[in-house]
Amino acid sequence: EAELLLVAIGRVPYIKGLNLEMAGINYDRHGIKVNDQLMTNKDDIYAVGDVIGGSMLAHVASAQAIAVVERIMGLEPAINLEVWPDCTFMSPQVASAGMTEEDCISRGIAYKTGKFSFSANGKALSMGETEGFVKVIASEADEKILGMHILGPNASDLIHEAAVAISNGLTVHEVTSTIHAHPTLAEAIHEAMHSVNGEALHAAPPK
C-alpha cells in the first residue's frame, strides 16, 4: 500500500543556453541533429549524449564521446554504438539489449524466441528471488542472437552477456556450446538459449 505514486514518463534533451541558433546547428524538439558519425551539420562540431536524444543513457553517452574523440584523432572508433545494455534499477530489475519482437516484425525479420524462468534456476532459488525470466530473440535463418530481455535478480549485470553476443554476431549455438558455471544466475541465459530451438541446438550446426 502507498499514499502517493510518482509517475515520471519520458525524457527530453536539455539544450537551453547552448546558443544553437547562433552556431547554426540544426535541432528540433528531439535534440541536436547528427549523422551516423555523431557530426552535426557543421563539419567541426559533434554532439553526443542526451542532447541528441535516442537512448539517453550515461554509459552510451560516454561511449559516444570516446568514439568522437577517436574519430577526431584520425582513428576508426572501435566501439559498437549500435548495441548497448538498457537497465532499469527497480525490484525486480529489468534489462535489455538489441532488438525486440516488435523491431523484428517492423523490419520484416523472421525470428524465434526462447525463454527460461528464474523459478527454475538454482541460484535464484537460493537467493529467494525467483520472480522473472530471460527471453532470447534469434533470427530464424541462422539463429544469430538479435536481442535479449531479462526481468529478475541482477538483470543489469547479466545483460552484458547479451550485449557482447549481439555486438559480435554470435549465434545461439555459440552460446549454448559455452559452459556456464553452476549454480549461477547466468545459467538462465544458457537455458533460454537452449529453448530457442529445443534439442536441435545441442548438435553442431550443419557445415
Active site residue: 30, 59, 182, 202, which one? 182
Q: Which residues pair with 116 in a beta bridge?
A: 134
Task: Print burial letters for 61-82: b (CB count within 10 Å at least 16), e (below 16).
Answer: bebbeebbeeeeeeeebeeebe
Closest C-alpha to 142, from 185, 103, 172? 172
**Catalytic residue check, 182:** yes
User: Does residue 11 contact residue 31 with C-beta atoms inside 8 Å?
Assistant: no
Phi first, then psi: what are they for 3, rounded to 5°? -90, -35
Catalytic positions, please? 182
